[in-house]
Amino acid sequence: MVDFINHTILIVKLFYISYTLFLQINQCLQNIVINAAMFMIFYSILINITNIIRRIRMQLYYSLTSPFARKVCVLIQELKIQDQFEMIKIDPWTNPDLRQINPLSKVPTLVLNHKEVLFDSALICEYLSTLKDKALIYPTERVEYFKSLRLQALADGAMAAVGRCYAELKKPEHLQSQDMLQRFQATQVATLIWLEQHLDNFTKNFGIGEISVACLLAYIDFRFPEQDWKIKYSQLAAWFEQVKARDSMQFTQYQV
C-alpha cells in the first residue's frame, strides 16, 4: 500500500513538472510567434518607408542642346542610376520657373531629395559620383585625379566657347563681334590641338574627363557639322568614334 502511494505521489510530481514545463515551453513559443509577427510588421513598415523614399526622386532640369546638361546625363547613364531621377526638360531662356530654384537660371540644375539645389555641371557630377562607386568616374590616384579634373575643366571651357561662338553667329552680321568670334574659334582650335597631343592623359575608364571631352566633341559636331576637325585631329577623332558608340552617348544625343 505504501509503495502504491509513493508511486502515485511520484507520478503526480512528474505530471506537475511535465505540465509546468509544457506551460513554459508554450509561453516561449507564444513569445517567439509574437516576436516573429512583430518583426514581420516592422520589416514590412521598413520596406514601405524605403519604397516611399525611393519614389521621392531627385529632379534634374536639363536641355537637349546643353553640353553641360548632357555631361550630367551621360554620367547618370554610366552609373546606371536613372531610376533615381525625374528628368525635367526646360528652356532656361524662356521659362522663368528655373530662376526660382537656380538664381543663375542655367542647366543642369539638380534638386535633391531633401530639396537642396545643386547647380554647375562639375559640382553635380561630383555629387552624383558619391551615389555609386566614385572610382568608376574619378581616378583614386592623386595625380590622375587632378589630370581628370583638368580634362573636365578644359572641355567645359571649350564648350562655353563653342556655345558663345554659335550664339554670336546667330546674330545679324552687322551686330557680330569679329574679335569675339576670333577668340572663341581660337579657343576651340587650341583645345583640339591640346587634346590631340595629350591623349595619354585619357584614362582607360570613361571617367569624368573623358565624358566631358566626348560631350565637347559631339557639341562641335552638333553646332558646326560642316567643320572638318576629324581630318586634322585624326587620333582624337578615332578615340571619339569609339566612345560615341557607348549607350550613354547614344541615349543622350543633342536635339534641337
Class of domain 58-134: alpha beta
Answer yes or no: is pLDDT of 215 > 90: yes
Looking at residue 46, its pLDDT comes to 65
Answer yes or no: is pLDDT of 4 > 60: no
Taking each helix axis as running N to C, give the angle between helix 178-197 and helix 234-243, from 0 to 180 degrees, rounded to the nearest 10.
Answer: 80
Q: What CATH number labels 138-250?
A: 1.20.1050.10
| 52-to-67, 83, 93 alpha-carbon distances in Å | 33, 13, 34
- Per-residue pLDDT, averaged over 182-200, amounts to 98
Q: Parse the chain into domains and list their residue ranges.
A: 1-55, 58-134, 138-250
Looking at residue 3, its pLDDT comes to 45
Domains 58-134 and 138-250 share a fold: no
Cell of 51: 519604397
- Percent of the chain clearing pLDDT 90 (strictly above): 74
- Per-residue pLDDT, averaged over 114-118, amounts to 90
In the structure, what pLDDT confidence band is assigned to residue 47 with cuts at 50, 70 and 90? low
Mean residue pLDDT of the chain comes to 90
For 93-111, write each residue's pLDDT tens digit: 999 999 999 999 999 999 9
For 128-178, write each residue's pLDDT tens digit: 999 998 999 999 999 999 999 999 999 999 999 999 999 999 999 999 999
For 50-85, write each residue's pLDDT tens digit: 555 555 789 999 999 999 999 999 999 999 999 999
Q: How far is CA 66 from the centre of its chain?
A: 17
Looking at residue 59, its pLDDT comes to 96
Looking at residue 51, its pLDDT comes to 54
- Percent of the chain clearing pLDDT 70 (strictly above): 89
* DSSP collapsed to 3 states, 170-193: CCCHHHCCHHHHHHHHHHHHHHHH
